[in-house]
């Protein structure tokens, strides 16, 4: 059995920072186009070195979550329609229709809701409630609430505690909205 086990290694600080920032983006708490705190402020807020923050941000930039704007700072990246999106590629290759994509999305969201109901933390529930209130406010203001709606559905995906679910749902919303 010893041959099957791998040594447990502590997670690097920059990876922990990466995880936190990616979570904020996935949950919609950091929205596309929004500026991220400067490295110095992030390092102070998280009580870590600027080097660790810089490494985490570099990884988020490389993966397309963030972008640097010369002289302005670091911003949450606004995804281009279909850019590097596996769903867009699948639609093109298989000549899938929007109906095909929505059918798959419905199945994934039903499963996500069931898993989220089992796994959601108090924090997840607070964020779901906040997203629901934002949708109501946007609707009352005459908006269709698309941004708040996406944030709500992503909160459900995140509450599943399944990063594959989160990633797939992010691809759906990047493609559809």
CATH number, residue 34: 1.10.10.10
Same domain? 139 vs 159: yes
pLDDT at 151: 84
Asked which of 76, 104, 136 is the last residue of a domain, the reply is 76
Q: Look at residue 91 in the predicted model and tell me its pLDDT.
A: 64
Report the distance separating Cα 55 and Cα 169, nearest Å: 26
End-to-end C-alpha distance for the chain, whole angstroms: 48
* 2 falls within a domain: no
User: Do 72 and 132 lie in a common domain?
Assistant: no
Average of per-residue pLDDT across 148-168: 87
CB 57 within 8 A of CB 66: yes
For 107-119, what is each residue's pLDDT tens digit?
A: 999 999 999 999 9
This prediction's pTM: 0.56
In a domain, 61, yes or no: yes
Closest CA to 157 of 109, 101, 87: 109
Judge whether 1 lies within some domain. Answer: no
Model pLDDT, residue 77: 84
The whole domain housing 29 covers 8-76
pLDDT of residue 169: 86
- Range from 34-48, 69-83, 92-106 that averages highest in pLDDT: 34-48
How many independent structural domains does the chain possess? 2
97 or 35, which is more confident?
35
């Amino acid at each position: 059995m010893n041959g099957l086990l791998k040594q447990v290694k502590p997670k690097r600080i920059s990876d922990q920072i990466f995880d936190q920032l990616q979570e904020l983006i996935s949950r919609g708490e950091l929205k596309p186009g929004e500026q991220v705190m400067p490295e110095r402020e992030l390092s102070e807020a998280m009580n870590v070195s600027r080097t660790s923050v810089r490494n985490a941000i570099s990884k988020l930039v490389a993966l397309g979550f963030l972008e640097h704007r010369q002289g302005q700072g670091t911003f949450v990246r606004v995804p281009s329609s279909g850019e590097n999106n596996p769903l867009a590629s699948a639609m093109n290759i298989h000549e899938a229709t929007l109906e095909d994509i929505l059918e798959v999305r419905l199945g994934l969201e039903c499963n996500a809701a069931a898993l989220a109901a089992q796994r959601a933390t108090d924090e997840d529930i607070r964020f779901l409630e906040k997203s629901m209130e934002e949708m109501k406010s946007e609707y009352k203001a005459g908006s269709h609430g698309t941004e708040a709606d996406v944030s709500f559905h992503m909160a459900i995906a995140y509450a599943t505690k399944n990063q594959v679910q989160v990633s797939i749902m992010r691809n759906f919303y990047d493609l559809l909205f």
